[in-house]
Amino acid sequence: MKKKLLITTGGSGGHVIPAIILYEHLSKKNDIIISTDIRGLKFLDKNNYQIEIVNTPKLNNFLFLPLNLFLIIFLTVKSILLIRREKIEKIFSIGGYMSIPLILAAKLLKLDIYLIEPNQVLGRANKFFLNYCKKIFCYSEKIRNFPELLRDKMIVIKPLVRKKIYDSNISKQTNEKFTLLIVGGSQGANIFDKNLKNSIANISKKKSIKVIHQTNEKNIVNLNKFYSENNIENKIFSFDENFISTIQQADLCITRAGASTLAELSLLNIPFIAVPLPNSKDNHQLENALFYKKNDCCWIIEQKHFDSEIERVLDEILEVKRSFLKKKENLKKLNYQNSWINVNQKITKTINEN
């Protein structure tokens, strides 16, 4: 008989995407419910998952704190009723304030709680609930802010990456033109839509390049027109159902530093220039990028230096290929023996131990 599990997530794609991947790992042998807030719904296909809405309020507004604390209590009671009704046996949380009512409910009902930390910094919600969890899955032993006394709860796995990435059989062809992919992540990156195109235009006068650029719907026509007027082969899009195929066309990527995006690029052996979101909580995007930087797999440019540095960095990459090729080789080493099966076995073994 299948076990009943619940995965709590919500907010940005950085929280929801790992939840979807965890669902892929566990759904064959378990019945799973995904709980999310309203924001997280846009990343979930209602036809593919059993979804419950637990719309947890943010706790960062002092004026509304009494009301929000009342709502947390109300949602915790709602979560207890949900867990009992659905006969949930284990709870999984990707972190974030969205998980608070369900984790509190699971604690009160004495259920096994498993945490997932996709970033290189222990999130605040995960840190708060670390004492109560059975285990926490992390992508590295060197997670910043992780309490030494609770290190025995840590299970290190390879990053959660979509199965389609592992299963993809599209052979990587050598591009006639050096292909640059620009992606902003689920929270977007307006900085990539402003002055970056001018730097690319300058570089295209010296090197033949192709650009694949993710932007918002309103900017597609203008970007396409700009690149075309500068004789730069381009593909401009907002949403791409075949995004994995699109990624594989790239030689190099300019990206934010969300854990899921960097993990996919890493597995596909695509070096990247990371531009961490400067206001990410606990500066976790910078820490994510530094993990790959320390393994000599990427370049990092701080957002405040992006406009002045990006053309120089791109010029060096295209002129001196040695550093670029070294990073590709290091990505291969980093992902040695990384497979869907290995990750799956480690997760299922951990949660089935007791």
CATH code assigned at 73: 3.40.50.2000
User: Residue 121, Cα to own-chain centre: how many angstroms?
Assistant: 13
Per the structure, how many domains does the chain have?
2
What pLDDT band is residue 282 in, cutting at 50, 70 and 90?
Answer: confident
Domain carrying residue 324 = 165-334
Do 12 and 147 belong to one domain?
A: yes
CA of 87: how far to CAs of 3, 79, 91, in Å?
A: 9, 12, 11
What pLDDT band is residue 239 in, cutting at 50, 70 and 90?
Answer: confident
- Listed residue (20, 59, 54, 60) closest to 39, CA to CA: 54
| pLDDT value of position 353 | 82
| pLDDT value of position 218 | 85
| pLDDT value of position 194 | 80
| pLDDT value of position 64 | 73
Do 174 and 309 belong to one domain?
A: yes
* pLDDT exceeds 90 at position 295: yes
Do 203 and 152 belong to one domain?
A: no
What pLDDT band is residue 150 in, cutting at 50, 70 and 90?
Answer: very high
Do 83 and 218 belong to one domain?
A: no
Other Cβ atoms within 10 Å of 105 Cβ, number: 25
* Mean of pLDDT values over 90-108: 95
| pLDDT value of position 175 | 73
* Mean of pLDDT values over 267-296: 93
Do 71 and 52 belong to one domain?
A: yes
| pLDDT value of position 320 | 86
Rg of the chain's alpha carbons, rounded to an integer? Answer: 21
pLDDT tens-digit series, residues 304-313 = 999 999 999 9
Give strand ranges (E) for 83-134.
Answer: 90-93, 112-117
Q: Which residues pair with 213 in a beta bridge?
A: 182, 236
For CA atoms 310, 316, 321, 324, the dihedral sign is: negative
| pLDDT value of position 48 | 93
| pLDDT value of position 354 | 61
Indicate the average pLDDT of the chain.
91
| pLDDT value of position 171 | 53
| pLDDT value of position 245 | 83
Do 343 and 315 belong to one domain?
A: no
- Listed residue (134, 132, 135) closest to 154, CA to CA: 135
* pLDDT exceeds 70 at position 298: yes
Do 255 and 200 belong to one domain?
A: yes
* pLDDT exceeds 70 at position 135: yes
| pLDDT value of position 132 | 94
pLDDT tens-digit series, residues 202-221 = 999 999 999 999 888 888 89
Do 190 and 102 belong to one domain?
A: no
What pLDDT band is residue 65 in, cutting at 50, 70 and 90?
Answer: confident
Do 183 and 59 belong to one domain?
A: no
Do 119 and 194 belong to one domain?
A: no
Do 63 and 136 belong to one domain?
A: yes
Do 229 and 141 belong to one domain?
A: no
* Mean of pLDDT values over 76-91: 97
